[in-house]
Structure 1
Amino acid sequence: MCGRLNMSLDPADLADELRLDVVSYDHTPRYNVPPGSFVPIVVERLDDEAQLTRRLETASWGLVPGWAKDAKIGFKAFNARSETVLEKPMFRQSIKRRRCALPIPGYYEWETTEDAKQPWMMSAAGEDPLFMAGLFEFWKQPDQSWLVSTTIMTMESTGHLHDVHHRMPVFLNRGAIDEWIDPAVPGSGIPSLLESTLAQVDPATVTRHKVGRSVGNVRNDGPELTAPVA
C-alpha cells in the first residue's frame, strides 16, 4: 500500500531525459503528501493537431472514473491492486487506455510492531526518482471543467520491502516507462503488458530508513520529516 508521498524534487528537471514535450505541472516542494493532493503524472496524449505528445501533467491523487457521481470516490481509489485491476469497474477502462507514470522522490510506509507503527521513508537508491506505474482518468466537474485524477498501482512486496509492508508500488525502470504509457497498445495486449511490467519490478532500486512518527500527521510538512532516526 502506498498512502503518503514525499514530493520534494521537481520532476520537470527530468524533462530532457524523459523526452517531455509539454510540462504543465507546477511544482511546490512537499514532504508529506496524502491522497486528494495534486501530484505529477507522465502521459502520452494526442494534441490538437493529432500528434502524440509526452506531457508532465497535474492530477488529483485518487482515481475518479468518468461514470462517478461524486469526486469523493477518489479517496477510496488512491491505489489499484495489480491482481484485480483488469476486472474491477473502477479501473478496467483506465488500464486499457489511460496509463501513466508517476515520478516520485519517495514514499512512506508503516511497519506494524508490537508497540506501535514505525514509519519508513522509501526512496530511490540512485539519482533518479522512483517511477511508479499508474492509471489516470478524466471526470467532468459540476462547473463543466475536467478533473484529471490518478491512482498508483500496487503489488505484493518482494525483497527487503516485504520486511516493512506486504504491499508496494509497481515500480517502472526507464525501459518500462515507454511501453507502459503508450496509448497505442491494443486492448488484447494489456494482460501481457501488465505481466511484463510486474516482472521487471526490482525492489533493490529502493532504499529505506526509519523516520519520526510526526509524519503520521498530514498537517506536518518539512524536510525534517525525511530525516533518519535510530
Structure 2
Amino acid sequence: MCGRFALTAATEDLAEFFQLVDLEPFPPRYNIAPTQPVLMITAGPARHPGSNLPDRQAFLVRWGFIPSWTRDVSQMPLMINARAETISEKASFKAAMRHRRALLPASGFYEWKREGKVSRPYWVRPRNGGIVAFASLVETYAEPGGSEIDTGAIVTTAANLEFAHIHHRMPVVIDPRDFERWLDCRTQEPRNVTDLLKPAQPDFFETIPVSDAVNKVANTGPELQERAEHKSLPEKAASKKKLADINQLDLF
C-alpha cells in the first residue's frame, strides 16, 4: 500500500526527468495525503511545436480514483491504490489501464510497519536520491452537476524481499527507459506493459525510521523525513507478536 508520499524536487528537475515542456512551478510537499491534489503525467494530445521532447503533459488530479460509471461517490471506497495483479480485469480500473496510464512523480513514500499494537512510520526513498516515477492510472469523473474532476490511483504490487518486513505491498516503479511504453495507450495494450508491473530491485530503496509526526496531515515540514530511532517494544509484547506471527503462518 502507499498512503502517503512526498515530492520535494525542484520544478526544473522534474521537467528534465520527465522531459516536459512548460511545467508549472510545483512547491515542495513533504506529506501528501489521499484526496489532496497530486501531480500526474500522461501522454499528451500533440507534440509541442519546435520541440524534440516526447509528447507528455502534466496536470493535477485528486488522489482517490473514481470510476467514470460511479453514480454515488459517497457509496464508493476511497481508492488510492490499484493492485497490479487485477487492474486489467477489475471493473473499476480496466478502462483506465487500457486508455489512461500515467506516471506520478515522487521523492519517496511513507510506510508503517505494524509491531504488536504499534505502527512505526518509515520514510522510503531511492537509495541514490533523486526522483522516482510510480505507475498510476487517471480517470475523469463527471459529477451530477455537470462539472468534471480528474482522479487518480497509484499502482502497487507485492513487496520485494528487502521491503517485505515493513509491508507486503509497495508502489510500482517505472524506469525512465520504460516511460514511453507505459504511457503509450495508443499502441501498447495492457498485455504489452504488464511486465513493467513488478517490485523494485531489492537495493533500489532505503528505509529510514521517522517520527510519528507524519501521522498528522497537518504536519508538512521537512523534519518529517529526519531519522528518529524507534523505541524497542517491551520483551513481553515482542514475544506475543512473535507467537501471533507463528500462529498466522499456520493458516497457510
Same fold (TM over 0.5): yes
2:193 alignment counterpart: 193
Instruction: State whether residues 100 and 135 of structure 1, in contact with CA within 8 Å, keep that contact through their aligned partners in structure 2.
Output: yes
Please say if residues 83 and 155 of structure 1, whose CA atoms lie closer than 8 Å, have aligned partners that are also in contact: yes
Task: Give runs of aligned pairs for residues 7-156 of structure 1, distance below 5 A.
Answer: 7-24=7-24, 26-47=25-46, 53-71=55-73, 76-156=78-158
How far the C-alpha of 1:201 sits from its partner, in A, is 3.2
| Contact 1:36–1:62, Cα closer than 8 Å, also in 2 | yes
Given that residues 34 and 218 in structure 1 are in contact (C-alpha distance below 8 angstroms), is that contact kept between their aligned partners in structure 2?
Answer: yes
Q: Which has the higher strand share?
A: 1
**CA-CA distance at 1:107 after TM superposition:** 0.8
8 A contact 1:107–1:122 mirrored in 2:
yes
Structure 2 stretches lacking a partner, 5+ long: 49-53, 230-252
Aligned residue type for 1:57:
F
Are residues 74 and 7 of structure 1, via their aligned partners in 2, closer, same or farther at CA, if it must alter by over 3 Å?
farther
CA distance in 2, matches of 1:63, 1:74: 10
Q: Structure 1, residues 65-99: CA drift from partner, whole Å, max 9, x if none?
A: 21122455776210000111111111000000100
Q: Is the contact made by 2:5 and 2:106 (CA closer than 8 Å) also made in structure 1?
A: yes
- Matched with 2:210 is 211
Q: Distance in 2 between matches of 1:11 and 1:83?
A: 33
Aligned mates of 1:217, 1:154 — CA distance in 2: 23
Q: 1:97 to 1:108 in 2, by over 3 A?
A: same
- 5+ residue gaps, structure 1: none
**Aligned partners of 1:46, 1:73: CA distance in 2, in Å?**
33
* TM-score relative to the length of structure 2: 0.81
Distance 1:130 1:89, change over 3 A: same
Where 1:15 maps in the other structure, the secondary structure is helix
Percent of aligned positions with the same letter in both sequences? Answer: 28
Shift in CA distance, 134/63, structure 1 to aligned 2, threshold 3 Å? same
What is the CA distance between 1:135 and its match in structure 2?
0.5
How many angstroms does 1:138 deviate by? 0.9
Q: Structure 1, residues 131-159: CA drift from partner, whole Å, max 9, x if none?
A: 10000011123453321111000011013
Q: Tell me which residue corresponds to 2:228.
A: 229
Cα separation, partners in 2 of 1:7 and 1:14, compared to 1, 3 Å = closer
> What's the secondary structure of 1:178's corresponding residue?
helix
Contact 1:32 1:221 (8 Å CA) reproduced: yes
